[in-house]
Amino acid sequence: MTTNCGSCGSTQAHVTTSDYVHVRFWGSVHVHRQSPGSQIWTDAVYRWQEVATYQIGSGYLVQDSSRVDHLSGTGQGTLNNPLYGPCTVHYSAFPASSETEGIRVINDGSEVEAIGAPPWSLHTVSGYTGSSADYCRPPSDPAGGSFVDRDVDQITCVLEWNDRCKHTVELPASETPGTTQTGEVTFVAERRTEYPYTAEDRYLDEAMDDINWEWVLPAGQLTPLSPDLMPAPADGTLSMAVTQGGVDVATVQGGVQQGEAPHLTGHRQQAASQDQPLTVDASYAIKGGPTITLTQTIYLPSAGPGGTSPSGGSSPTITGVAFRGGAPNPMIIVSGQSLGSQPPADPSGHPSGQGGCPVVSDDMGYDFGTSLYIAVPSGNWSAGRYNPSIGETDCFDIVVAQFTPTEVVFTLGALYSQQTKDQLTAGTAYQVVVNGATFSGTVTYS
């Protein structure tokens, strides 16, 4: 995406809208208790993690319900009594972290504060194993409930634009006689800020996204073109030239008035194909001000069985793929319709140390069978795919930040960022699959 605003002195102040904070927060604890001289002992272990991506806007405390409260964890505790034998209790995480435990992000203008408060007691009893009727029964927790008597304070990172932090803190030793506790907490926060742009530039970007570009297909409507666009921030003229493979396909033009939605007219010079993306060169000539220009790659819905587009909105359809950040740590944003819900991890565990994959200490991603992945055919690699029928396990996994029927946001797991050989560099040909919808294109960072 390119921007040219000439002399920007007459435009509004710059704002940042492509501003994300991605946080990974995980830890573990092991506590053993045995009073001096006693033959009764308890042993408890617990592991937890939370992964979230936050878009930074105007709010002070980021509390987007689709991006927070993703805590998960498992563990078990065992009580051993010589009279009754062992009893083991199984733990799982509460479905949502509290206001004082887990990840939170505070927006303070140019600086963003990412906070991680370890959820040492954020677990619940999910089952029992053992023969002792006195100990192995709900609702009691024979292993003692709260795990630690000394914990780790919340971890805080202050992130400027395109900043990153990582902290690993060990759990302090217990001061209680007969109790030993070990564990550690790791907190990784990364802020990916794209480009700052003016209100007019943002409006042009949104206008290009909002137009129903299917009208350039053979069955599409020609004129007048009346997309549902937002009111314009300034008087001027919108112009868009649409090409496909270097061939002129269509034009879109219209005058705009401040505070009113534009009325655009489209002229199709020749029908487009679904097999290739469109290139749209757009300009917003502001009356008495600069001309904003922007170029986007637009992906049309793929042809379904028999060579036709999915109809009725029931089939998964991808309408656009955007790449944010850069090749070392890309964020992939997939826009579409009827994309469904997030598929289950397949296999259920992290790829780290599985299927010939190297062990990655901070692996937080998963493979998703053949339901969600990105592939680079020219490099013979992919991320997020698992196909045991051909012996394939992707060591590059996927960390899903958001999954809705119209938008899927994900990053690539820790192993990808730890190597430089296989990268999603600009110009790389890729293929994205989401619940059966498939799209191909070339990587363009915006």
> What confidence category does residue 154 fall into, taking pLDDT thresholds of 50, 70 and 90?
confident
pLDDT, one tens digit per residue, over 289-308 is 777 777 777 766 543 332 23
pLDDT at 197 over 60: no
pLDDT, one tens digit per residue, over 364-407 is 889 999 999 999 988 889 999 998 877 789 999 998 878 888 88
Convert 374-428 into a string of H (helix), E (strand) and C (coil): EEEHHHCEEECCEEHHHCEECCCCEEEEEECCCEEEEEECHHHHCCCCCCCCCCC
The enclosing H or E element of 46 equals: strand 41-55
**3-class state of residue 146 by DSSP:** coil
pLDDT, one tens digit per residue, over 410-437 is 889 888 988 888 999 999 999 999 998 9
Per cent of the chain over pLDDT 90 is: 11
The verdict on whether omega for the bond into residue 139 sits within 30 degrees of 0, i.e. cis, is yes
Q: Which residues contact 201 (CB under 8 A, 6 or more apart)?
A: 3, 5, 284, 292, 294
- For residues 19-36, average pLDDT: 82
- For residues 164-172, average pLDDT: 89
> What confidence category does residue 223 fall into, taking pLDDT thresholds of 50, 70 and 90?
very low
Query: Would you state the pLDDT for residue 62?
Result: 54
Higher-pLDDT residue of 143 and 176 is 176
Question: What gap in Å lies between CA 225 and CA 10, rounded to an integer?
Answer: 30
| CB distance 148 to 120 below 8 Å | yes
CA distances 110 to 118, 158, 163, Å, are 26, 10, 11
| CB distance 370 to 393 below 8 Å | no
pLDDT at 118 over 70: yes
Q: What is the DSSP string of 236-277?
A: EEEEEEEEETTEEEEEEEEEE-BTS----EEEESS---TTS-
Query: Would you state the pLDDT for residue 45?
Result: 79
Query: Would you state the pLDDT for residue 432?
Result: 95
Query: Would you state the pLDDT for residue 303?
Result: 37
Query: Would you state the pLDDT for residue 219?
Result: 47
**Phi, psi angle pair for 27, to nearest 5°:** -170, 175
Query: Would you state the pLDDT for residue 398?
Result: 93
Higher-pLDDT residue of 126 and 41 is 41
Query: Would you state the pLDDT for residue 159?
Result: 87
**Phi, psi angle pair for 204, to nearest 5°:** -65, -40
pLDDT, one tens digit per residue, over 42-85 is 888 777 777 777 767 545 555 544 445 566 677 777 777 777 77
pLDDT at 280 over 80: yes
Question: What gap in Å lies between CA 224 and CA 254, rounded to an integer?
Answer: 11
The enclosing H or E element of 151 equals: none
pLDDT, one tens digit per residue, over 312-365 is 345 889 989 999 878 888 889 999 888 888 899 999 888 988 878 888 876 788
Higher-pLDDT residue of 132 and 174 is 174
pLDDT at 2 over 50: no
pLDDT at 239 over 80: yes
Q: What is the DSSP letter of 325?
A: S
Question: What gap in Å lies between CA 125 and CA 106, rounded to an integer?
Answer: 32
Query: Would you state the pLDDT for residue 379?
Result: 83
